[in-house]
Amino acid sequence: MIVGVDEAGRGPVLGPLVVAGVAVETDVALRQMNVRDSKKLSPERREALAPEIERVARYELVVVPAERIDAMRAEMSLNDFEAKLFAELIQRLRPETAYVDAADVDEIEFKRCVQRELSFAVEIISQHNADELFPVVSAASILAKVRRDREMRAIEEEFGVPIGSGYSHDVQTIAFLEKWIRETGTLPRHTRTSWDTARRLLAESRSRKLEEFGEGKS
């Protein structure tokens, strides 16, 4: 059996990280579906492919909320945390070979980090852009992205206003965070408070308040 592991939502300031593992005896069915890196597929295409992948494969998912990401980042690097999560899914699926999309700039180091977390012997193929090279990793990237998109929609419903994709380059996400901070003086739930973007937005808001206070006194 082979397994592919990939994540969605490593970098956003808002929302969870989702890691998916997909296990198959052979990737023929996945090739026939023409699975590709999730970033190169439309949301509609990903939504259509996800149940097809689930039909032909075993799969496992881990949804990691922002609060846990912040807590783990206080103890280890994001790369080490991701290696732990990848290993957790490989442990559950127990393949002979696991293909992983390397999070570290050093593919071999990321492989070692994953192997250190495993209690059984498994061949690990750790490569950058594995989601473009191996259909089983493409399938994992699709399941991870579809689940993260659903999680983000649920968060948006919770707040009752548009929140965007959660990424720092998304103007809708930044506008949502700025408005929330302006009105409450705090960061909203589901924000990765350890992220530089979150800290910067809080600091800028406090700086503006101090300036306004100073102008009010003069």
Looking at the chain, the domain(s) classified CATH 3.30.420.10 span 2-153
| 64-105 tens-digit pLDDT | 999 999 999 999 999 999 999 999 999 999 999 999 999 989
Mean pLDDT, rounded, of the chain: 93
- Of residues 183 and 37, the one with the higher pLDDT is 183
Q: Is the pLDDT of residue 7 over 90?
A: yes
Q: Cα(108)–Cα(125) distance, rounded to whole angstroms?
A: 9
**52 touches 134 (CB < 8 A):** no
Q: pLDDT value at position 36?
A: 84
The two three-digit tokens of residue 76, written as one number: 């280890």
Q: pLDDT value at position 123?
A: 97
Model confidence band, residue 37 (pLDDT cutoffs 50, 70, 90):
confident
Maximum Cα interatomic distance, the chain, rounded to a whole number of Å: 74
| 150-199 tens-digit pLDDT | 999 999 999 999 999 999 999 999 999 999 999 999 999 999 999 999 99
210-216 mean pLDDT? 56
pTM over the 0.85 mark: yes
| 116-143 tens-digit pLDDT | 999 999 999 999 999 999 999 999 999 9
Q: Cα(204)–Cα(181) distance, rounded to whole angstroms?
A: 10
Q: pLDDT value at position 212?
A: 60
Give the fold, CATH level 3, of 157-217: Arc Repressor Mutant, subunit A (1.10.10)
2-153: which CATH architecture? 2-Layer Sandwich (3.30)
CA 85, 129, 22, 121 dihedral sign is negative
Looking at the chain, the domain(s) classified CATH 1.10.10.460 span 157-217
